[in-house]
Amino acid sequence: MNLYSLSSQLLKTRNHKYSRPVIHITIAGVALGMIIMLMALIITGGYKKEIREKIVGMGSHIRISNYDQNYSFDPIPFNRNQFFIKDLKANPHIKNIQFYSTKVGLIKTSDQVEGIVLKGIDSTFAWKQFQKCLLEGDPILYNTPELSKQIFISKKLAVKLKLKLGDKVSTYFVQDPPKQRSFTVAGIYNTGIPDYDEKFVLADLRHVQKLNGWDSTQVGGIELLIDDYSEMDHLGESINQSIGYHLKAETIKQLYPNIFEWLILFDTNVIVLLCITMFVCVITMISSFFIIVLEQTKTIGILKTIGMETRTIFKLFMFMALRLIVKGLIWGNGIAITLSLIQNQFQVLKLDPDTYYVSAIPVELNLIYFILVNLGVVFVCLASLALPALFVSKKIAPVHAIRFD
């Protein structure tokens, strides 16, 4: 009989009244630890991904604007036909280049007035990315010869102004001389990000150009969408160095530092939670190990009497521990995946969108999370049991062990 089979037989022995419930408690403890650690990573990963997608949905990963421009919604224009556009299009990580500009104004209905930022976009706008936020209406390419008078407003603005699809609204822009434009609501969106939903209105870029007296080549900025978030900082830095001294490239981390600093706190909390949970798993395994060894002392003494070496006894203990850990992992992984799928499908657990930017707890079933947590639990638990197992293997003497009761 090999060691793996022998470890299974020892754990299945039914004449030990103490170790049987301890084995079940150990498996349950490992499973519970796995559920807590996996759900922490799955929820944190899903939340961070959801927030990033919401921010990118209305904008981009990287924004290029005039270097002299502060964080203002009345940008300093520059020519869209820049020398570096060709290099940006050739970059494999950049999946879309879109041009835009903004204009501060007021939107007025019969009984309500709200301040807005009119964001002008054109046919380069990534509607596929934005469509996740679009609640009503269809995308408009804004590529017809005629100037489009259709706009997209947020759900928050629509509720405040009592607007719905097809309604006509008037907008006013404070300049010299003041100007007025009439628009038709063609779509309603919701990002969940207050910075966007409270003020941004999407419209044809040519409106902003005409209001500012610009020609068709002048824009307020260039937005870049990339295919790999992990490359964003590196790309932002390299683009910033290649676009000339009069322009600057900023990532969404630099544009929205408060949100991303807040997300970093989630990582810190998760690390603390993982360490505490792992520590509890280790204590559970060590406590269970000594109880199991205590009841198997006589059996171990007999095995030593018939010639089993100390190192073989040590391996036997490790196999016993591994079996318990694996059973806990199977239950933990299964329950964590089930809970994640239920939340993803039915969104059982809700959140306050005004506080957390999302209406339900998001999840991200990432294979990397499962691999790292499973390997981490196996390694840490076995490593923590190695010294006690080696100590017990050496200290149990056959004569005393056989007499042990």
Would you say residue 112 lies in a domain? yes
Residue 69 pLDDT greater than 90, yes or no: no
pLDDT band at 13 (very low <50, low <70, confident <90, very high): low
Same domain, 33 and 129: no
Mean per-residue pLDDT, 290-302 = 72
Residue 321: the pLDDT is: 84
Same domain, 341 and 369: yes
**What does residue 404 show for φ and ψ, rounded to 5 degrees?**
-65, 140
Residue 288 pLDDT greater than 80, yes or no: yes
Residue 289: the pLDDT is: 81
Mean per-residue pLDDT, 222-238 = 95
pLDDT band at 14 (very low <50, low <70, confident <90, very high): low
Residue 111: the pLDDT is: 86
- Residue ranges with strand state E in 7-126: 62-66, 78-79, 94-108, 113-121
Same domain, 300 and 227: no
Same domain, 292 and 315: yes
Residue 93 pLDDT greater than 60, yes or no: yes
| C-alpha to C-alpha distance for 198 and 220, rounded to whole angstroms | 21
Residue 105 pLDDT greater than 90, yes or no: yes
Same domain, 355 and 267: yes
Q: What is the DSSP string of 140-166?
A: ----SSSPP-EEEEEHHHHHHHT--TT
Residue 46: the pLDDT is: 94
| C-alpha to C-alpha distance for 13 and 402, rounded to whole angstroms | 17
Mean per-residue pLDDT, 158-181 = 93
Percentage of the residues of the chain whose pLDDT score is greater than 70 = 89
Would you say residue 61 lies in a domain? no
Same domain, 156 and 72: yes
| C-alpha to C-alpha distance for 240 and 159, rounded to whole angstroms | 40
Q: Which residue has the higher pLDDT, 11 or 221?
A: 221
| C-alpha to C-alpha distance for 232 and 238, rounded to whole angstroms | 10
Structure tokens at 301: 């003494």
Asked which of 244, 273, 294 is the last residue of a domain, the reply is 244
Domain carrying residue 198: 68-244
Whether the Cβ atoms of residue 142 and residue 207 lie closer than 8 Å to each other: no
Residue 180 pLDDT greater than 70, yes or no: yes
pLDDT band at 390 (very low <50, low <70, confident <90, very high): confident
Residue 126 pLDDT greater than 70, yes or no: yes
pLDDT band at 143 (very low <50, low <70, confident <90, very high): confident
Asked which of 188, 211, 244 is the last residue of a domain, the reply is 244
Residue 173: the pLDDT is: 95
Residue 1 pLDDT greater than 60, yes or no: no
pLDDT band at 231 (very low <50, low <70, confident <90, very high): very high
Structure tokens at 371: 């691999």
| C-alpha to C-alpha distance for 129 and 223, rounded to whole angstroms | 13
| C-alpha to C-alpha distance for 43 and 49, rounded to whole angstroms | 10
Would you say residue 253 lies in a domain? no
Whether the Cβ atoms of residue 157 and residue 134 lie closer than 8 Å to each other: no
The whole model's pTM is what?
Answer: 0.86
What is the chain's alpha carbon radius of gyration, rounded to the nearest angstrom? 31
Would you say residue 138 lies in a domain? yes
Mean per-residue pLDDT, 172-196 = 92
Q: Which residue has the higher pLDDT, 209 or 357?
A: 209
**What does residue 50 show for φ and ψ, rounded to 5 degrees?**
-65, -45
pLDDT band at 22 (very low <50, low <70, confident <90, very high): confident
Q: Which residue has the higher pLDDT, 389 or 166?
A: 166
Would you say residue 279 lies in a domain? yes
Would you say residue 356 lies in a domain? yes
Residue 217: the pLDDT is: 96
Would you say residue 370 lies in a domain? yes
Mean per-residue pLDDT, 254-260 = 89
Residue 88: the pLDDT is: 96
Residue 357: the pLDDT is: 86
Give how many domains the chain has, as a whole number: 2
Asked which of 244, 273, 289 is the last residue of a domain, the reply is 244
Q: Which of 143-157, 193-207, 376-390 has the lowest average pLDDT?
A: 376-390
The candidate with the shortest Cα–Cα distance to 26, out of 315, 375, 331, is: 331
Residue 311 pLDDT greater than 90, yes or no: no
Same domain, 232 and 266: no
Close Cβ partners of 362 (under 8 Å, ≥ 6 residues apart): 43, 46, 47, 49, 50
Residue 115: the pLDDT is: 94
Same domain, 122 and 268: no
Q: Which of 168-182, 277-291, 386-400 has the lowest average pLDDT?
A: 386-400
Same domain, 19 and 134: no
Same domain, 160 and 202: yes
Same domain, 102 and 232: yes
Residue 11: the pLDDT is: 67
User: What is the average pLDDT score of the chain?
Assistant: 88
Task: Determine the 3-state secondary structure of 229 from DSSP.
Answer: helix
Mean per-residue pLDDT, 232-239 = 95
Residue 16: the pLDDT is: 54
Same domain, 43 and 102: no
